Amino acid sequence: MISNRKILTLLAAGLLLTTGCDSVRQVASPAAVSTTATPPTTETPTDTPTTTETTAETTSEETTTEEETTTSETEEASRSTTGSYDVTISGSVSGHSFRRSATLRIVETISSTGSTNDVNPVDVCLASGNPAAQPQPGAIRFGSNSGCLSGTGAADLDLASVDADGGTIDVEPVESMAATGGNLFTASTSIAACPYYPVSGRLRVTVDGGDVSGSVEFTGYGGAFCPSTVYDAKISG
């Protein structure tokens, strides 16, 4: 006869077996891995054609540049204007009107060294009367170089700068040279008339064949006792 203790032992063993069976897990077999590799895609590069353009340049050697040619022609034209011309100057100075005979001289360059300004392409002077000894309205002696004015007896000093463009010539006084007294004009006939020394302005003349035209406009310094004044006149001849 089986005792109660054995019966309890058998029941406990049965429960343990049931629990162990339920705890068993099913493990799925891993999926098969394909061993066939996919070949990489290869792209064939497309070559871009390169076109090289070659431009042929033709160069020619010139003996003179255009600027040098123009300068040479201008200087040649200026030299062709040289000569002595009888002209008339008419205008006013310090409120006094005048009309006078004058001499205009255009000569080749007098001083090429020792100049206080650039070398003048030509030298120009305008003379009417004798303002230093016989003052009169409009009397004037003005030159780009002292050697251009006859009877000065002075060294060849550049007193003004000259710019020539063909037959047209501009002459401008150099202010620092006014103190030499080489250029001057007067405004009256008074014995106490002040001499005026051009410090600024311009003399412009154009020579066309034998015809001369131009203008004079100077501001003159009269010293401590005479205010500055303007000489304004037309030139014809």
pLDDT at 191 (0 to 100)? 85
Give pLDDT tens digits for 191-201: 889 999 999 99
List the chain domain ranges.
67-236
Q: Tell which residue, 174, 170, 237, 179, has the closest CA to residue 209.
A: 237
Q: Are 204 and 161 in contact (CB under 8 A)?
A: no
Rounded distance, CA 216 to CA 232, Å? 6
pLDDT at 25 (0 to 100)? 42
**Positive/negative CA dihedral, 85, 215, 174, 138:** positive
Tokens 């004798």 belong to which residue?
130
Q: Are 156 and 150 in contact (CB under 8 A)?
A: no
Rounded distance, CA 188 to CA 236, Å? 23
Rounded distance, CA 91 to CA 103, Å? 16
pLDDT, tens digit only, all 237 positions of the chain: 445 555 445 444 443 334 443 443 443 444 444 444 444 454 554 554 444 444 445 444 554 555 454 455 555 655 679 999 999 999 999 999 999 999 999 999 998 875 667 899 999 999 999 999 999 999 999 999 999 987 665 678 899 999 999 999 999 999 999 999 999 999 999 888 999 999 999 999 999 988 999 999 999 999 988 999 999 999 999
pLDDT at 65 (0 to 100)? 55
